[in-house]
Amino acid sequence: MNPEFVVPIDRLQERLQLKLIDGYGIMCMYAVEEGKMSRGIRTVLRRDAEILSLFTPLESDTYDMIHTEVPQTRPYEREMHEMSGLNPHMAEHYGPQRLQWAYKDAYPLQKASLPEERVFRPIPDNRMEGDGIFEIPVGPVHAGIIEPGHFRFSVAGEPILKLRTHMGYTYRGIEKLMEGFTETDRTRIIERVSGDTAVANALAYAHAMEGETEVPERARLLRTIFAELERIYCHFGDIGGIAQDTGFSVPAAYAAGIKEKILRLNEIIGGHRFLMGTIVPGGVRRDISDDSLREIQNRILKVSFDIEELVGMMEGSSFLMDRVETTGVLTHKDAVEYRALGPAARASGVKTDVRKERPYDAYGDVGFRVFTREKGDVYSRMLVKAGEIVESTSIINQCLDQIRPGPLRTEVRTADGLGLGIVEAPRGELVHCAEITEGEIWRYRIRDPSFINWLALERALPGNIVADFPLVNKSFNLSYSGNDL
């Protein structure tokens, strides 16, 4: 198992700073309740395949904040303050992260029963002020068919000076629902954390529960195929969305058609359009017939032509290129400082991919390239996604070559300790941490890539015009429900 170190709270900030200089990145940070475990803060860091988990015991709920010196920890400290009741004096400056209706003298993840009474916490009005500077509030109900979120733009004329995102509208309390005995299969809930990341979430949950269990080879290959199919339809949706938001409807309709074909393929092979209910801890739920495998192969062959045509169509249009180039630039410096994840980071020149750095399932047995671009604009993100689709088809083909009949499932014996599931979801590195003690999940933490990338979006937007916001937002394609849980 991964080494675990105990770090006292007054040394934590310094230790994290040193580790970040060493090339580690903070993957997840959360507080653990008192009871079967001692109260404290868990920090999980990663450098390539190397995982480091730090535990910081807490005597009291108040401590000196870490994020003043280590900016990567800011979203995590806000989360710990809100969900686990740490640092009650933490500046109200940021406003609620998820919990707009807070409990009085209580917090959602406490083990004692929660009071009925709720207190409304308004969004703080710390707008930018100056001559000709206005604030445009948008949401939570948007014009399109998307999820709810609230945005506040500070604008001087057209250009955006500052964007503040306020989330929490889809907060359903999933982390609390995940607690309890490990025998209960919670895959149904975990698949519905974020509908279009169902496979990645189920996979991360399975890894967290499996620990050292060896999964049969056929199951590993099938899991990889499912995960890549999900990546393909997600990325097609994004690229089509970019075309849609520039008003170029031919490629948008084209991409929607291809996405639909992949969803129908999913229905044939897995019985569900979003492949929910295909992955279980210990393997996969049911087998795929040879006919279906051939069906995948045929469909995937067409996909690599489709993406070439789609990108060619979009690149051939000068007005679309005018919109996407140099729009919404996430600089390399910001991407590193905030530890941006997934295609957003890769488009800014950060070569990060869990599939390569810490191979899981069958990713160690297949060859593929990690796509990076340097500029960090919408166009780069589009190209990275297009490149990933091509690599995904190659991965699926390699898996189909290797697949042999064999068992699909093994018995899972969940060990006590820290269960980790780290998966490259279509949006980036997805982390599930399960604190398991005496056969019970004491704390379950889901860290969706969107949780970090919303901050990256806030950094990428200033300087662009308001009309470009949907475009930049679509190129990041962040999950609201995955962020809110």
Q: Which is nearer to other proteins, 311 or 399 (CB)?
A: 311
How far is Cα of residue 408 from the mean position of the Cα atoms in its chain? Answer: 27
Q: How far is the CB of 302 from other proteins (least distance, A)?
A: 11
Q: How far is the CB of 263 from other proteins (least distance, A)?
A: 7
Binding mask 441-460 for other proteins (x = CB under 8 A): --------------------
Q: How far is the CB of 106 from other proteins (least distance, A)?
A: 13
Phi, psi (5° rounding) for residue 443? -150, 130
Tallying the residues shown for the chain, one arrives at 485
Judged by DSSP in three states, 442 sits in strand
Amino acid at 467: A
Q: Which is nearer to other proteins, 235 or 375 (CB)?
A: 235
Confirm or reject binding of residue 192 to other proteins (CB under 8 A): yes
Kindly give the residue spans of alpha helices, DSSP state H, lying in 114-197: 174-177, 187-191
Q: What angle do CA 104, 93, 58 make, to 5 degrees?
A: 60
What is the spatial distance between Cα 130 and Cα 400, in angstroms, rounded to a whole number? 61
Confirm or reject binding of residue 194 to other proteins (CB under 8 A): yes
Q: How far is the CB of 169 from other proteins (least distance, A)?
A: 5
Q: Which strand (E) or helix (H) includes residue 425?
A: strand 417-425
Q: How far is the CB of 463 from other proteins (least distance, A)?
A: 27
Write the DSSP symbol of residue 465.
B
Amino acid at 69: E
Q: Which two tokens stand for residue 289?
A: 């017939």
Other C-beta atoms lying within 10 Å of the C-beta of residue 7: 18
Q: Which is nearer to other proteins, 101 or 181 (CB)?
A: 101
Q: How far is the CB of 173 from other proteins (least distance, A)?
A: 4
Q: Which strand (E) or helix (H) includes residue 53?
A: strand 50-57
What is the spatial distance between Cα 107 and Cα 448, in angstroms, rounded to a whole number? 21
Q: Which two tokens stand for residue 86?
A: 């740490």
Kindly identify the residues of this chain, within the stretch 30-69, that bind other proteins according to CB under 8 A: none
Q: Which strand (E) or helix (H) includes residue 235?
A: helix 217-245
Phi, psi (5° rounding) for residue 74? -60, -55
Q: Which two tokens stand for residue 6?
A: 């105990």
Confirm or reject binding of residue 313 to other proteins (CB under 8 A): yes
Q: Which two tokens stand for residue 116?
A: 């009925």
Expressed in percent and rounded to 5, the helix, strand and coil fractions of the chain are: 45, 20, 40
101, 119 in Cβ contact below 8 A? yes
Q: Which is nearer to other proteins, 11 or 188 (CB)?
A: 188
Other C-beta atoms lying within 10 Å of the C-beta of residue 106: 15
What is the spatial distance between Cα 372 and Cα 353, in angstroms, rounded to a whole number? 10
Q: How far is the CB of 172 from other proteins (least distance, A)?
A: 4
Confirm or reject binding of residue 409 to other proteins (CB under 8 A): no
Q: Which is nearer to other proteins, 144 or 405 (CB)?
A: 144
Judged by DSSP in three states, 109 sits in coil
**From 125-133, 207-215, 251-259, 418-426, span contacting other proteins (CB under 8 A):** 251-259
- Out of 136, 156, 250, 321, the residue judged to bind other proteins by CB under 8 A: 250
268, 295 in Cβ contact below 8 A? yes
Kindly identify the residues of this chain, within the stretch 266-305, that bind other proteins according to CB under 8 A: 271-274, 276-277, 285-286
**Residue with structure tokens 């032509």?**
305
- Out of 77, 79, 82, 196, the residue judged to bind other proteins by CB under 8 A: 196
Q: Which is nearer to other proteins, 418 or 441 (CB)?
A: 441
Kindly identify the residues of this chain, within the stretch 90-109, that bind other proteins according to CB under 8 A: 98, 100-101, 108
Confirm or reject binding of residue 462 to other proteins (CB under 8 A): no
Q: How far is the CB of 471 from other proteins (least distance, A)?
A: 17
- Out of 7, 27, 198, 384, the residue judged to bind other proteins by CB under 8 A: 198
Q: Which is nearer to other proteins, 86 or 174 (CB)?
A: 174
Q: Which is nearer to other proteins, 259 or 373 (CB)?
A: 259
Q: How far is the CB of 170 from other proteins (least distance, A)?
A: 4
Binding mask 137-156 for other proteins (x = CB under 8 A): ---xx-xxxxxx--------
Phi, psi (5° rounding) for residue 211? 60, -115
**How big is the site for other proteins, counted in residues (CB under 8 A)?**
56
Write the DSSP symbol of residue 239.
H
Kindly identify the residues of this chain, within the stretch 212-241, that bind other proteins according to CB under 8 A: 237
Q: How far is the CB of 111 from other proteins (least distance, A)?
A: 16
Kindly identify the residues of this chain, within the stretch 109-138, that bind other proteins according to CB under 8 A: 118
**Residue with structure tokens 């969803």?**
263
Binding mask 166-185 for other proteins (x = CB under 8 A): --xxxxxxx-xx-------x
Q: Which is nearer to other proteins, 77 or 147 (CB)?
A: 147
What is the spatial distance between Cα 316 and Cα 386, in angstroms, rounded to a whole number? 15
Q: Which is nearer to other proteins, 332 or 409 (CB)?
A: 409
Judged by DSSP in three states, 324 sits in helix
Interface residues toward other proteins, by CB under 8 A? 98, 100-101, 108, 118, 140-141, 143-148, 168-174, 176-177, 185, 188-189, 192-196, 198, 237, 250, 253-254, 256-257, 259-260, 263, 271-274, 276-277, 285-286, 309, 312-313, 316, 479-481, 484
